């Protein structure tokens, strides 16, 4: 019963467990893959803007898979991210399009303008 109450406040515990497992996989990567994966993980958390937990977990699992495969194959980091790491990370995040935190603010802004317009009429 307590688990349901906690999940109501913090989200599904299974997602948290999967997130921790994926983060541990990234932390276990050898250099330089670990550093690159951690940097991309951090960037995606800040810039990704995704609010759906299932989507975030899927994205982080795929991120760990990507960097583990690169480390196993010995693929150079630059061959993964290309000339522009930011562009690569943002394209990676776009593959997981979902609801973003900014969507709520956009809707709120549009509604506020509509309400202001109704007041003037």
Number of domains within the chain: 1
Q: What pLDDT digit, counting tens, does each position of 22-41 carry?
A: 999 999 999 999 999 999 99
Of the chain, the percentage scoring pLDDT greater than 90 comes to 53
The domain in which residue 61 lies consists of 2-120
Q: Which CATH number belongs to the domain containing residue 109 in this structure?
A: 1.10.1900.10
Q: Is the pLDDT of residue 119 over 60?
A: yes
Q: Is the pLDDT of residue 78 over 70?
A: yes
Give pLDDT, residue 31: 95
The pTM for the full model equals 0.74
Instruction: Return the half-sphere exposure (C-beta side, CA atoms, 13 A cut-off) of residue 98.
Output: 16
Q: What pLDDT digit, counting tens, does each position of 81-111 carry?
A: 999 999 999 999 888 876 666 778 888 888 9
Report the distance separating Cα 56 and Cα 107, nearest Å. Answer: 22
Give pLDDT, residue 120: 86
Q: Is the peptide bond before 32 cis (omega within 30 degrees of 0)?
A: yes
């Amino acid at each position: 019963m307590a688990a349901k109450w906690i999940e109501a406040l913090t989200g599904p515990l299974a997602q948290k467990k999967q997130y921790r497992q994926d983060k541990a996989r990234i932390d276990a990567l050898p250099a330089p893959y670990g550093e690159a994966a951690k940097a991309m993980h951090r960037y995606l958390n800040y810039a990704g803007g995704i609010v759906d937990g299932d989507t975030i977990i899927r994205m982080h699992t795929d991120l760990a898979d990507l960097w583990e495969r690169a480390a196993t194959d010995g693929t150079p980091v630059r061959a993964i991210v290309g000339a522009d790491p930011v562009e690569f990370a943002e394209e990676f995040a776009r593959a997981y399009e979902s609801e973003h935190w900014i969507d709520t603010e956009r809707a709120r802004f549009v509604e506020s303008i509509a309400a202001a317009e109704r007041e003037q009429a």
